[in-house]
Structure 1
């Protein structure tokens, strides 16, 4: 039996403060195949971002292990690129320079200067930002900044793209356009994506599977939902699609019941 591309095995995380210890995540088991788009959804405080940070190597797991292509993940690396809700662009650099900085870091030894330039422009083209290459972050919109953040992450050619609520701070129309862009990029590159979201429609639209977290503390994976929708997906056609509606209702039911459980506690 082939080993999974990305594997989380009995991952747990506790934070200690003085004598007190809080268990945030408990016994997380998840297997992700190459090219899969996985969304992680759950109420605030269920440890979604902590889980993503463990996969990114930004936070150590207290128990268990994360394996990427059967190699243990212990620290950050270019094989896992993160796009945060806050774009994290360097304000003194242009759009082009923000992306080329990442390109230089990962491929200075393997690509010539001309090749690195071409690769930077290729990734700006992927997110439709080549026209703004000479602008600084203060001169472009929030949605455009997120596009540049995605281009920078893709330019590192990561094995796994990690998205931490990348559209959370954007208006609805900009969010929809960026979701469409991410779907197009995923279709073009066939990359492996793990995304955190609070948005049920976003999760169903983009994902192959949706991982639903129980409430914290000691959050676990409550359910994993397969999304049996053919790609490419067109949002306007999906609104009335029976499978889409079923998936959406399943996630809402899970989240609503968890919320009611919290209120009862």
Structure 2
């Protein structure tokens, strides 16, 4: 496994605002190995989405740089695919056609049969090959998200970027998709970076959890290695002391070290007397 497949070095990002510069990220350093599953977690406004957008090439860092497989990231490219919280399917196209559109972008000159084979393969991976002719409005939210994942995977990306992909789903659908994602990643060995606010999701899915400090001027606070063996079973992990220890490490960082919550001040004794 390459130790520096994806390398973020001293990455900083600032945005111009009417009142001056806003410093979103400072000195973000992160080295990701090929095939790793990384979760980014932290309070709102800590720059998680900014990191994802920089890796995707949607924004350009104002300092530092990002290297993927020996080449600098300079703009979007098919080697990086993004799955958003909103599936972003084209409503006038069928399930098959939504994925086919992506496949055609990376298989220019391929025959219709070759394209069809690839489309059907990735839809089968997410268990959506039974709904090829359905339009997005005819399937559930969880199914739409499965199609969105299939579309991203069909581009054979070196890095799969996921921005809270299961955040809008009910608990049961989320659990099913988490299990499906673990199976897919085990089969394809994609490098994955996922934003999440769900501590249990992060521990279940990840090889490492990157915990961000609070913004502005956010950075990497701590990185936690998840040593739980794979494949992972959520039911078995419910009674696993190591799982609970790892979970507690993340919660400790979020709620003790970098919480934005300010404790309520106790009223002064004289104030209580005055009220009485």
Whether TM exceeds 0.5 here: the answer is yes
Write the distance in 2 (CA, Å) between the matches of 1:164 and 1:19.
Answer: 29
Q: CA offset at residue 263 of structure 1?
A: 2.5
Which residue in 1 is equivalent to 2:70?
70
Q: CA offset at residue 242 of structure 1?
A: 1.5
Write the distance in 1 (CA, Å) between the matches of 2:191 and 2:63.
Answer: 24
Q: CA offset at residue 70 of structure 1?
A: 1.4
Structure having the higher Rg: 2
SS at 1:26's partner residue? Answer: strand
The reply on whether 1:139 has 2:138 as its aligned counterpart is yes
Q: CA offset at residue 30 of structure 1?
A: 0.2
Write the distance in 1 (CA, Å) between the matches of 2:3 and 2:10.
Answer: 16
Write the distance in 2 (CA, Å) between the matches of 1:3 and 1:239.
Answer: 32
* TM-score, normalised with respect to structure 2: 0.93
Write the distance in 2 (CA, Å) between the matches of 1:105 and 1:260.
Answer: 44
Write the distance in 2 (CA, Å) between the matches of 1:23 and 1:164.
Answer: 21
Which residue in 1 is equivalent to 2:17?
17
Which residue in 2 is equivalent to 1:45?
45
- Calculate the aligned-residue CA RMSD, in Å: 1.1
Write the distance in 1 (CA, Å) between the matches of 2:193 and 2:259.
Answer: 27
SS at 1:29's partner residue? Answer: strand
Structure 1: runs of 5+ lacking an equivalent:
none
Q: How many residues align?
A: 262
Counterparts of 1:1-265 in structure 2 under 5 Å? 4-109=4-109, 111-261=110-260, 263=262
Write the distance in 2 (CA, Å) between the matches of 1:164 and 1:32.
Answer: 18
Q: CA offset at residue 260 of structure 1?
A: 3.5
Q: Which 4+ runs in 1 deviate beyond 3 A?
A: 258-262
* TM-score, normalised with respect to structure 1: 0.97
Write the distance in 2 (CA, Å) between the matches of 1:41 and 1:107.
Answer: 35
Write the distance in 1 (CA, Å) between the matches of 2:115 and 2:139.
Answer: 24
Kept in 2, the 8 Å contact 1:9–1:66? The answer is yes
Q: CA offset at residue 262 of structure 1?
A: 5.1
SS at 2:262's partner residue? Answer: helix
Structure 2: runs of 5+ lacking an equivalent:
264-276
Q: CA offset at residue 3 of structure 1?
A: 5.4
SS at 2:24's partner residue? Answer: strand
Write the distance in 2 (CA, Å) between the matches of 1:55 and 1:45.
Answer: 18
Structure 1 pair 134–261 and aligned structure 2 pair: CA distance change class (3 A) = closer
Structure 1 pair 107–251 and aligned structure 2 pair: CA distance change class (3 A) = same
